[in-house]
Chain A
Amino acid sequence: MTDNIATDPKRTELEELLPFYANGRISAGDRARIEKALAGDPELVMRLDIVREDMAETTLLNESLGAPSHRALDRLMDRIEAEPREAPLLTRAKGGLMAWLGGWLSAQPPRRLAYASAAALVLIAIQGVALTGLAVRGTGGSFETASAPGTRPSERYVMLSFAADAKASDIAAFFKRYEASVVDGPRANGFFKVRVGDASLTTAQVDAIAARMKAEGAIISFVAPAP
């Protein structure tokens, strides 16, 4: 197939900027140029769709890598303790509880998190059946995006509802695929608040995850990033 974009230097230049348009790291001028071009260039739109799809999968791939073990911080601090410094240290502040806790939480090994996910799956399968029932009965209404009591702002969430005919086994597999877990719900309108990652996820990445979830129409009837 002929690559029409490749034969047009102006379109090629814009095409090469699409990944940066998609990740939001582009100047206002280039953003405007791309948006103008996208309005009349279906081929460029198709390329942007591919970029966004690859971006979502790259995010999921990286998120699946887990985190360094708790040993990493311990070993680093041991090395620092053993490190001679030329000048006397001005500040000898000892690590407070919150700093230690923050480090510890973000340093949990993937295996430990996996155990938590496995336990959550059992709950999710049951909730999936219950939610399917709610959806079949046609419970409607709008949802609120206010944070649920007890949730932690250090995590990233989406709000979602399941398709009326989604199977419990598919819902369980869905949560496993995204390494997600329910933190609140089902609410009266049938929505769940679902954790999709930790605070290291940016807004664009949560958007990408939500977009990928939305594409799973057989399981999900609605999904949107939530605070």
Chain B
Amino acid sequence: MHTESDEDLVKRIASGDRLAMKVLFSRHQVRVYRFVLRLVRDETLAEDVISDVFMDLWRQADRFEARASVATWLLAIARNKAYSLLRKRRDAGLDDDFAESIEDEADDPEIVLQKQDKGLAIRACLAKLTLEHREVIDLVYYHETSVEEVARIVGIPENTVKTRLFHARKKLGDVLKAAGIDRGWP
């Protein structure tokens, strides 16, 4: 079965093709939603953000340049909108923990460890990372992006991508160790 490329769909969207818009939305909505949800931690807000992301795509499709993939483009827009939303909420006094180490709803790693599930403990510790560390871990481990793509999405130099990810991994190891799981590093 022939599958139309993302780039071809964007060209059709630029000419006002709503069916192409639905197909592209269906193709990318889940990943963009999960990326945003990990940042804003609110399902309703995450849906608002992805709606805005795809509206931007609808409005700017004719300006898309194929230097980056459509997926990278969408994640970059999504990140900007998510951070913008978080800043507004912080300025409005709704969020005072923006970009800080935020407690998640998940069980504490220590409690999870008592339940004897290492995987759950790691996931609980992932939720304990700062926004900055969470996003780079998600982008590389889940969204499977390259150094160049992370640099484009986050807006940082490529060397910073590698060092930031290194520190995120190290921090994850520290949190795990504090929870009683020593993997030999750090």
Contacts and interface: CB of A to CB of B under 8 A. Distances in A.
B126 A102 contact: no
A55 B144 CA distance: 10
Interface stretch (B73-81, B85-93, B95-103, B135-143): B135-143
Contact of B144 (A25, A65, A72, A90): A25
A36 interface: no
Interface residues of B, number: 52
A8 interface: no
A50 B123 contact: no
Interface of A: 1, 3, 15-17, 19-20, 23-26, 46-47, 50-51, 53-62, 65, 67-69, 71-73, 75-77, 79-80, 83, 85, 87-96, 99-100, 102-103, 106-107, 177, 198, 200, 202, 204-205, 212
A54 B141 contact: yes
A143 B15 CA distance: 49
B146 to A, nearest CB: 4
Contacts of A76: 21, 25, 51, 54-55
Given A72-B51, A106-B30, A85 B16 contact: yes
Label chain B's interface by main secondary structure: helix
B141 A59 contact: yes
Contact of B162 (A16, A62, A73, A79): A16
Nearest to B15: A90
Contacts of B165: 16, 19
A72 B166 contact: no
Contacts, number: 160
Contacts of B146: 20, 25-26
B141 A99 contact: no
Contacts of B46: 68
Contacts of B55: 76, 79-80, 83
Given A19-B169, A46-B184, A80 B30 contact: no
A21 to B, nearest CB: 11
Given A76-B25, A95-B22, A106-B29, A17 B169 contact: no
B23 A99 contact: yes
Nearest to A101: B26
Contacts of B186: 3
Contacts of A90: 15-17
Nearest to B58: A80
B45 to A, nearest CB: 12
Contacts of A106: 26, 29-30
Contact of A68 (B50, B140, B162): B50
A102 B138 contact: no
B16 A102 contact: no
Contacts of B169: 19, 50-51, 54
A204 B147 CA distance: 17
Contact of B37 (A65, A87, A91): A65
A83 to B, nearest CB: 7
